[in-house]
């Protein structure tokens, strides 16, 4: 994601949040929180006490782990009043108290609405509790962490929206805001022109300075901020913290991107329906592909946004941007899970090609099948002569898009790089045509049985094809959601076919299709055999890589026969000793640890196997219910 400050990995929550809080944005969060405490201190005495406790715990932790603390704990804000320093002298704060606060994080039912006045202080308290728990190595459930951060982000969003709404609608300034307007006009000079957007400056000038105010001033009113400069900084903090916490919540969701059980629906909800651009950018940045392949970040962002636009063109229930993101992550996970990422099986160009192929594989899908286009004699069927109609369109439309400068992610490729990239993408996307399914499996089974290595393009094509039909091998909730979406898309096609007077395609009759039976057949005859073959293929690739490595000496001992004559400074001491012994007719034996390669597993984990079994059993039960309901309907219809 552009501008992200953190990356969530499989490490502990302490590492994740601790790293993120070392950023300047995190330091701003501290200033914002303490300022907020002062701002409402005289309104909420009880909340202030809670805040003091949290501050005391944070202060105690400064003495406990000063060297490793992020800047947010290294010093107190100068704007904090004396009450914020309560408990600094206390060197020991019981973990039980913090654990109790962490327990309270699970309760979000009675929290005020995000636009309520009290929500600001509660958000501050909860953030302090999270920070204290992380620095004390107290476990916070991921679900509680995400929900609380999401609540805080929504509160900050509400504050920001309120400020923006007041500017846009010119709402009369309430008394609580009137005091902010009593600042000296010259205070704006403290802010550098480039540090604040003009829109923010105009808003503050209109709202907080005397030149725009028509209200009668009362010298006795004490302003909330010491200067308009602080008002600007506070406004920017609200917006920055909101975006920061939103990114943090999204990154926590991305913690599972390496896992088979990755929930793309949850990520799509968290990213406001933009999961394809987030997943695509995350994976490409994870392997530094934009930098390695000289791809402009702006151009990549434009490309991914346009991909989402194309996937949303027909508003398909199934073949949409969420499906594209799911296939992309599943394609990556199959390769990652096999260990081939570690083995460097793919070049940067090949990895980029498979990511792009997954992203574009259903670009501008019409929500109807190839057979529908052929039977209805659509324009796209005429263009591609009834052969892989949609698949040809997907890849062709994507490459046509990349001819435009603002979307051309291939602009820095050499002629050979472009040729290889295009060949791989076309091969992979055309292989997603289901009419080629059985021929593809037959060919791959034959290649697996041979001694020769499998052509990489065919291997990648099968991986993408399996990812495209993988949802029956996912947890039931994910699989069932996809099934409902797919069946709805089928039924809509059936309705179009009836309108055109065409025969209704299989599984497209809303009134007569047996969904459970169809899924049992889909798993048994299509998905399960495909994943058996792809698993066997991956294991053969792994074995070939391990066998090739076993023929080479350990990296700690250069193989003289495979290198050019090195200069003396480049020759290792080990090799010099070998040369000396050989010159004296001595045979030198090396430790087995230096000559024997570390054994590596060539067995590929197959997480889909168990889910395929469980989901098939679940559909068998559903099929029994379907038959029972159908029998009851027949009995009711009989006279």
Torsion over CA of 616, 619, 621 and 625, rounded to 10 degrees? -160
DSSP 504: P
Q: CB neighbours (10 Å) of residue 206?
A: 16
Q: Would you say 339 and 544 are in contact if contact means Cβ atoms under 8 Å apart?
A: no
Burial class (CB in 10 A: 0-12, 13-18, 19+), 213: middle
**370 among the known binding-site residues?**
no
CA distance 123 to 159: 12
Question: Among residues 273, 243, 293, which one has the least CA distance to residue 29?
Answer: 243
Tokens coding 571: 């020759």
CA distance 524 to 529: 7
CA distance 327 to 341: 18
CA distance 80 to 48: 13
Tokens coding 475: 């947890």
**392 among the known binding-site residues?**
no
Q: Would you say 249 and 149 are in contact if contact means Cβ atoms under 8 Å apart?
A: yes
Rg (CA), the chain: 31
CA distance 497 to 359: 29
Q: Would you say 540 and 448 are in contact if contact means Cβ atoms under 8 Å apart?
A: yes
CA distance 490 to 369: 9
**362 among the known binding-site residues?**
yes
Q: Would you say 161 and 194 are in contact if contact means Cβ atoms under 8 Å apart?
A: no
CA distance 203 to 490: 52
DSSP string, 122-185: HHHHHHHHHHHHHHTT----HHHHHHHHHHHHHHHHHHHHHHHHHHHHTPPPPHHHHGGG-B-G
CA distance 21 to 6: 9
Query: Which residues are paired to 183 by β-bridges?
Result: 209
**480 among the known binding-site residues?**
no
DSSP string, 589-605: PPPHHHHSPPP---PPP
CA distance 547 to 4: 40
Q: Would you say 206 and 167 are in contact if contact means Cβ atoms under 8 Å apart?
A: yes
**322 among the known binding-site residues?**
yes
Q: Would you say 433 and 370 are in contact if contact means Cβ atoms under 8 Å apart?
A: yes
- 118-135 vs 45-64: helix crossing angle, rounded to 10: 20
Q: Look up 41 and say whether it is catalytic.
A: no
**323 among the known binding-site residues?**
yes
Query: Which residues are paired to 189 by β-bridges?
Result: none
Query: Which residues are paired to 209 by β-bridges?
Result: 183
List 41, 135, 319, 423, catalytic entry: 319
Phi, psi of 258, rounded to the nearest 5 degrees? -85, -5
**150 among the known binding-site residues?**
no
Residues composing the chain: 639
Summarize the annotated binding site for Zn(2+) as residue ranges. Answer: 323, 361-362, 468
Summarize the annotated binding site for AMP as residue ranges. Answer: 319-323, 362, 468, 519
The residues carrying an active-site annotation are 319
């Amino acid at each position: 994601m552009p501008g992200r400050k953190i990356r969530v990995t499989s490490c502990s929550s302490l590492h994740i949040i601790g790293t993120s809080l070392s950023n300047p944005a995190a330091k701003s969060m501290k200033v914002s929180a303490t300022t907020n405490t002062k701002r409402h201190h005289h309104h909420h005495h009880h909340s202030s006490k809670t805040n003091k406790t949290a501050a005391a715990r944070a202060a105690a932790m400064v003495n406990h782990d000063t060297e490793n603390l992020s800047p947010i704990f290294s010093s107190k804000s100068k704007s904090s009043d004396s009450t914020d320093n309560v408990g600094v002298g206390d060197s020991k704060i019981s973990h039980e108290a913090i654990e109790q606060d962490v327990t309270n994080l699970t309760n979000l039912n009675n929290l005020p609405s995000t636009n309520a006045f009290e929500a600001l202080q509660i958000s501050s308290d909860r953030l302090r509790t999270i920070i204290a728990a992380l620095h004390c190595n107290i476990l916070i459930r991921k679900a509680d962490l995400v929900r609380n951060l999401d609540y805080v982000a929504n509160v900050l969003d509400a504050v920001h929206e309120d400020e923006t709404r007041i500017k846009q609608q010119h709402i009369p300034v309430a008394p609580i805001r009137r005091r902010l307007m009593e600042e000296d006009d010259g205070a704006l000079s403290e802010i550098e022109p480039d540090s604040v957007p003009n829109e923010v400056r105009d808003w503050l000038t209109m709202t907080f300075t005397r030149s725009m105010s028509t209200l009668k001033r009362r010298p006795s009113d004490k302003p909330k901020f010491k200067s308009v400069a602080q008002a600007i900084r506070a406004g920017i903090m609200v917006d920055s913290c909101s975006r920061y916490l939103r990114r943090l919540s999204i990154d926590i969701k991305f913690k599972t991107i390496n896992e088979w059980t990755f929930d793309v629906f949850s990520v799509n909800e968290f990213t406001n329906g933009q999961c394809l651009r987030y997943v695509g950018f995350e994976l490409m940045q994870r392997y530094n592909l934009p930098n390695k392949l000289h791809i402009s970040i702006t151009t990549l962002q434009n490309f991914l946004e346009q991909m989402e636009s194309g996937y949303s063109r027909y508003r398909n229930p199934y073949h949409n941007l969420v499906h594209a993101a799911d296939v992309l992550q599943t394609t990556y996970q199959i390769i990652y899970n096999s260990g081939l990422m570690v083995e460097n099986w793919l070049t940067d160009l090949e990895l980029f090609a498979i990511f792009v192929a997954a992203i574009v594989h259903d670009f501008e899908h019409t929500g109807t099948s190839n057979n529908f286009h052929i039977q209805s004699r659509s324009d796209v069927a005429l263009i591609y002569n009834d052969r892989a109609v949609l698949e040809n369109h997907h890849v062709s439309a994507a490459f046509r898009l990349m001819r435009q400068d603002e979307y051309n992610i291939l602009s820095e490729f050499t002629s050979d790089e472009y040729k290889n990239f295009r060949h791989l993408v076309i091969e992979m996307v055309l292989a997603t045509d289901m009419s080629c399914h059985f021929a593809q499996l037959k060919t791959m089974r034959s290649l697996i049985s041979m001694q020769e290595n499998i052509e990489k393009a065919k291997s990648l094509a099968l991986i993408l094809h399996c990812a495209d039909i993988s949802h029956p091998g996912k947890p039931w909730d994910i699989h069932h959601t996809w099934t409902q979406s797919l069946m709805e898309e089928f039924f809509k096609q059936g309705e179009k076919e009836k309108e055109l007077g065409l025969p209704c395609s299989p599984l497209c009759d809303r009134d007569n299709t047996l969904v459970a039976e169809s899924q049992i057949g889909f798993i048994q005859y299509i998905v399960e055999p495909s994943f058996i073959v792809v698993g066997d293929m991956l294991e053969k690739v792994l074995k070939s890589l391990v066998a090739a490595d076993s023929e080479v000496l350990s990296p700690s001992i250069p193989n003289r026969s495979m290198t050019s004559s090195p200069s003396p400074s480049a020759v290792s001491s080990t090799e010099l000793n070998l040369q000396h012994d050989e010159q004296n007719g001595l045979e030198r034996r090396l430790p087995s640890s230096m000559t024997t390669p570390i054994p590596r597993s060539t067995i590929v984990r197959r997480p889909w196997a168990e889910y395929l079994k469980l989901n098939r059993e679940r559909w068998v039960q559903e099929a029994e219910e379907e038959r029972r309901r159908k029998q009851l309907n027949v009995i009711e219809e009989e006279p």
